[in-house]
Amino acid sequence: MARTVPRYAHEGVLQPAVDRYVNQVLPRRDPILAEMERLAKRENIPIIGPACGRLLALAVEVSGAKRIFEMGSAIGYSALWMARAARRGAKIHYTDSDPRNIARARAFLRRAGVGSRVEMHLGDALDVLYDTPGAFDLIFIDVDKDQYPAALKLALGKLRRGGLLVADNVLWYGRAARPAKRGDAFTRGIQLFNRKIYADKNLFSVIVPLRDGVAICVKKN
């Protein structure tokens, strides 16, 4: 999610009653995830939330992804979901440009017993991905929204054949469905990203309208 966080950062695009229902029927999270959710709400830190966390974990589990790159990791909430779902020997590459976020994420991941599965990177996610050698089984995009088109181009070159590309916030609180206002680079970035994932014949893509919209794409070749 973006580092410039709107006041409605913990809201989604579903009708409020439906959104409440989706979250009410979820199993109760363990103490560490629950603590992270409270911290995110208290300090308005962007996280994907539990419903999308389960979706991301499911993508990792069913794909068998072992080499995972997360572009934009904040306090490590989504990294924890992926690390728990990944198979033995998996490695998740965490990226964030804020040293405080890294310190918090490292502490949470260690307490959860998955610290050894996560490699921490301080810096811009696009720069770190560019400098990290090898192909990935799954790449999760959750950076500033004006970076999404560039992140897509870079990620496709780093994703193996059959790999998954997952992106959060692709409905951008409903703004993606309306003409972008002048100067709204975030909405324009999301809209361009969405057009590109469906226009690319090398991708099979779907947008899931859960919370703020999650795109899941398979690289065919």
Residue 6: per-residue pLDDT:
42
d(CA 58, CA 52) in angstroms, rounded, equals: 10
pLDDT digits (tens, 9 = 90+) for 120-158: 999 999 999 999 999 999 999 999 999 999 999 999 999
AA letter at 145: K
pTM strictly above 0.85: yes
- What is the average pLDDT across 80-99? 97
Percent of the chain with pLDDT over 90: 90
d(CA 213, CA 47) in angstroms, rounded, equals: 13
Q: What angle do CA 108, 111, 117 make, to 5 degrees?
A: 80
The CATH architecture annotation of domain 16-219 reads 3-Layer(aba) Sandwich (3.40)
Residue 3: per-residue pLDDT:
43
- Domain extent listing, the chain: 16-219
Return the SS3 of 98: coil
* pLDDT higher than 70, residue 12: no
Return the SS3 of 175: helix
Return the SS3 of 154: helix
Tokens 């979901």 locate to: 81
pLDDT digits (tens, 9 = 90+) for 25-66: 999 999 999 999 999 999 999 999 999 999 999 999 999 999
Is residue 52 a contact partner of residue 211, using CB atoms and an 8 Å limit?
A: yes
Is residue 125 a contact partner of residue 95, using CB atoms and an 8 Å limit?
A: yes
Residue 11: per-residue pLDDT:
56
